[in-house]
Amino acid sequence: MAINAVLLAVVIMLGLSLARVHVVLSLLIGALTGGLVAGLGVTDTLAAFQEGIRNGAEIALSYALLGAFAVAIAHSGLPQSLASKVIGRIEKGGAGLMVKYGLFAGLVLMSCFSQNLIPIHIAFIPLLVPPLLLAFNRMQIDRRLVACLITFGLVTTYMFIPYGFGDIYLNQIMLKNVGEAGVDVSGISVTHAMAIPALGMLLGLIVAVFFSYRKPRHYEQLSIDKTARDAVVEGDALSQAAVSAGNQSTMKTLVALAAIVTAFVVQLYTDSLLLGSMFGFGVFMATGVVKWREADTVFNDGIKLMAMIGFIMITAQGFAEVMKATEQIQPLVDGAAAMFAGNQAMAAFIMLLIGLIVTMGIGSSFSTIPILAAIYVPLCLSLGFSPLATVAIIGTAGALGDAGSPASDSTLGPTSGLNIDGQHDHIKDSVIPTFIHYNIPLLAFGWIAAMVL
């Protein structure tokens, strides 16, 4: 029996990533292997890969503008002031439970808000997290837990709340593709459909906080941690001194809030994060918080901030296009479904499991949904699943593997902030912990949703 090209490509990509090969190279080698095994040949495989890269151009531009918007917010002093207040509160309160769990709650909320209220996605992480590392070290907080906290907010928000990134995932991509595949989605509540899977994510978070990583973990106090901490504390002290002297620092904070609101409103009415970020950045320039002569520098810094993550996401688009070109995703599903013909419980489990495999390879839930919907909808209808259960299966299958994928921004983002001093490994400390705590309960609760809805 010939091995499935998609399955082989994903296994190779994951294996190379675990062996510490760079994610971009892992994606490229996995895609080439999958294309060759499927009989595409080198030329056709590269052509498909390049087509995917072209399709990812909008992602690159969106990430660049998100990064520029995030740097402009940092330029206003708002994140530094926030980080300074958190550090001051921690140092005054010591390592008390109230302080520690308050910090955990704050990280989760900020992660959630970055998907909906302040559409900067993961760009907040390298701005806000590095100044807090010294406090994390002093409190001996396990950084694997911090990765789980951030990833929970990044993933659960878009897969459950139909707003911001959630509107794109749930309404513009999932419901649109499910509807085009033959299901009437006019009366379906995506929040209702995804509530049970979201509870699985919450269970994983609770396990991570109160069981898996509750024990102290020692990290070296490196100079880079102290430098990051001192920079925000001293910067906030200078800002407060300037305010007392009648400076315009308060105005900068107000402008930052106005820019955030502007980006949010524009994104809401245009359904474009790219436009939202652009208008938000424009507010900073129009008010002089980011001066015209500084605009190039701020924008370039934003591109640098997000360049590696954006490049990985573009490469993942190329990988996804090669997987489509192999035309072996459907045989993978059909072969699995044939083993359990007529058995809803086993079919639902297999569909979710395949969703996990595909998303782990692609690294993007948003890219996975169009691939799966065209195949899963007819299969769900033939097996007698309700429209609500069908939406739950496809929504969960797409989200499965986002947490825990080496190529996902939901794991790359936390690593970018937590590994600033070289003490947080991407695979061992971000990918594996988030895979265990979120994919396993999400698979179980997604299956429950398929059975009861």
133-188 pLDDT, tens digit per residue, is 888 888 889 999 999 999 999 999 989 988 777 877 888 778 887 887 778 888 88
Mean pLDDT of the chain: 80
For the ranges 32-46, 96-110, 242-256, the lowest mean pLDDT is seen at 242-256
| Residue 196: predicted pLDDT | 94
Answer for the pair 353, 345: CB distance below 8 angstroms, yes or no: no
Q: What is the span of the domain harbouring residue 253?
A: 5-452
pTM: 0.77
pLDDT (tens digit per residue) in 75-118: 777 766 776 677 667 666 655 677 788 889 889 998 888 887 77
Residue 122 has pLDDT above 60, yes or no: yes
Most confident of 285-289, 291-295, 373-377, 427-431: 427-431
| Residue 101: predicted pLDDT | 87
| Residue 210: predicted pLDDT | 93
pLDDT (tens digit per residue) in 377-423: 878 887 888 899 999 999 998 888 888 888 788 888 899 888 888 88
CA distance 423 to 147: 13
CA distance 395 to 226: 42
| Residue 326: predicted pLDDT | 85
Which percentage of the chain shows pLDDT scores above 90? 16
Count of domains in the chain? 1
**Residue 253, token pair as written in the block:** 């904070």
| Residue 242: predicted pLDDT | 45
| Residue 241: predicted pLDDT | 47
**What Rg value do the Cα atoms of the chain yield, rounded?**
22
| Residue 152: predicted pLDDT | 94
Please give the single-letter amino acid code of residue 130.
P
432 by DSSP, 3-state: which? helix
**Residue 302, token pair as written in the block:** 């934003």
Provide the greatest CA pair distance for the chain: 77
| Residue 244: predicted pLDDT | 46
Residue 247 has pLDDT above 70, yes or no: no
The pLDDT-based confidence of 300 (bands split at 50, 70, 90) is confident
Answer for the pair 276, 267: CB distance below 8 angstroms, yes or no: yes
